[in-house]
Amino acid sequence: MEQGVEVVTSDPGFDRSSPGRILELKQEAAIDLSTADLVQRGLADPAAFDVDSEGNVLVWSQSSTDLHFFKFSAAGVLLSSFGRAGQGPGEVRYLTSVYFEANGELMAWDNAQGKMVFFDGRGVFLRQNSLLRRPWQIIPLGDGRYVTQEQQSAPAERMGLWTVLICGPDLAPVREIGRRTISWPGPGRKFSALSPPVVLGVSKSYVFYGNSENGYEIKCFDKGGRLKRIIRKVYQAVPLSAEDRGNLAKIYEGFPPEFMANLEYPGSFPPFQMGFADDEDRLFIMTYERSGEKGHYWYDVFGPDGAYAGRVSLGNYGTQGGSQGILFASARRGRIYHLRENKDGYKELAIWRIR
């Protein structure tokens, strides 16, 4: 206990001689998202997805000139498409969050127009709420509340501030649960080639937040924003290779020479990249440790009690470290869903059962 908060610390061993159970995945389906029909109807570049209580998958496109939402059955059959691009009621332009609510409604956050748009399970437009604030991300908590990620700029200090807030039904802030600052590059200003990643995940009971600047530590809040548990893991940092430095350098190609002169490369990667939680209160954390499969990394898995339960090998969807770039993964109903690139470079949604 630390100041009345439970702390669960795990040390699986640096030599990985007894790393805990390795979870096996059995693929059930792979939904091809690159067919000519889907591309013509608006699904040219799928951004992310969510899964409803029946196992249907809603894949969405961030910006489209036609339709934004495509709902598939668990077997990969297209059930419906909706969400026309535009500025009218029920129409959207640029999406940054799309999630199913606990009551089965679909909430879509149009960051460009500052409005939350709601549809029923069949894709029929229900209502929309306009907001003055422009959060980047809005995630339903299942009880009428939301968690948001919001960015503010401080030009005088040459930095940006990202905050994570628990909000009420009207999106009024209730409690801040996390924050981080990012220094802007500029002449005479040192800046890191790798921004510290953060983890934000929502499970049945908790909201998880971790800032990699604080080491391998994930804070676990109840849905009112009260800190209930801290998860820590002893880890061995993964050093940057010459190839890793080259991949990072490509991000800044075209920057002026005076900027590049102040670019700093860390000696090792942060403790984690990204993470997500499932509906059983398990937490999946993507590390920078490469597994034996090409393009795959080890994901640490923590059980509902916060203890280290094992690991699973899964493809990259993190901020740096592989050719696929930023993709998306999630877990629901005893399955892992992964938006990935296939061998031809097109996106598909793979569905595995966790064993």
Average per-residue pLDDT in the chain? 88
d(CA 68, CA 267): 41
| Res 225: pLDDT | 95
Q: Residue 37: in which H helix or E strand, if any?
A: helix 36-40
- Confidence grade of residue 327 (pLDDT, cut at 50, 70, 90): low
CB neighbours of residue 333 within 10 Å:
16
Coil/strand/helix, residue 306: coil
> pTM for the whole thing?
0.92
**187-232 pLDDT, tens digit each:** 677 888 888 889 999 999 999 999 999 999 999 999 999 999 999 9
Whole-number percent of the chain with pLDDT over 70: 93
- Predicted confidence band of residue 11 (pLDDT cuts 50, 70, 90): confident
Do residues 291 and 313 lie in contact, with contact meaning Cβ atoms separated by under 8 Å? yes
Identify the H or E element spanning 163.
Answer: strand 159-167
pLDDT attached to residue 323: 36
In this predicted model, what pLDDT tens digit does every residue of 112-158 receive, in sequence order? 999 999 999 899 999 999 998 899 999 999 888 999 999 887 766 67
Residue 165 is predicted with a pLDDT of 97
One-character DSSP codes across 201-261? EE-SS-EEEEEGGG-SEEEEE-TTS-EEEEEEE---PPBPPHHHHHHHHHHTTT--HHHHT
Is the pLDDT assigned to residue 37 strictly greater than 60?
A: yes
Q: How far apart are CA 339 and CA 110, in angstroms?
A: 21
Please report which confidence band the pLDDT of residue 325 belongs to, taking 50, 70 and 90 as the band edges: very low
- Reported confidence tier of residue 317, pLDDT bands at 50, 70, 90: low
User: pLDDT at residue 318 above 60?
Assistant: no
Which DSSP state fits 143? S
Buried b / exposed e over 14-53, threshold 16 CB at 10 Å, is eeeeeebeebebeeebebebbeeebeebbbbebbbbbbbe
How much is the pLDDT for 88? 95
List all residues 6 or more positions away from 71 whose beta carbon is below 8 Å from its beta carbon.
Answer: 56, 57, 58, 59, 78, 79, 80, 81, 82, 123
Concatenate the DSSP letters of all residues of 106-120 into one string.
Answer: EEEEETTTTEEEEE-
Largest Cα span, the chain: 59
pLDDT digits over 272-315, tens only?
Answer: 998 999 999 999 999 999 888 887 889 999 999 999 999 998 88
